[in-house]
Amino acid sequence: MTQEALSRAVWRKSSHSGNGGNCVEIADLSTGIAIRDSKNPDGPRIVLPLTQWTALVHTIKDSCP
């Protein structure tokens, strides 16, 4: 994933997030899903292949009461 592709990414956060700036943001990429911290939009990002993103979401959902 190039820095240029990440700079063009359209980032979004959950509609359940407030405006406090403590959110996880994601962006759809051709290679998967990018994840970043809304407090630090120019900071590190994680890019997961779609299969790993799906597994992460299922794991989080399964661990919530």
Residue 59 C-alpha from the chain's centroid: 15
The pLDDT assigned to 1 comes to 54
**pLDDT digit string, tens, across residues 35-58:** 999 899 889 999 999 999 999 999
Share of the chain above pLDDT 90, in %: 55
Q: Side-chain half-sphere of 57: how many Cα atoms within 13 Å?
A: 12
pTM above 0.85, yes or no: no
**Domain extents for the chain?**
3-63
Residues 58, 28: Cα–Cα separation, whole Å: 18
Residues 33, 27: Cα–Cα separation, whole Å: 6
Band (64; pLDDT cuts 50, 70, 90): confident
Of 56, 15, 21, whose CA–CA distance to 36 is shortest? 21
Across the chain, mean pLDDT equals 87
Residues 42, 36: Cα–Cα separation, whole Å: 9
pLDDT higher at 49 or 65? 49
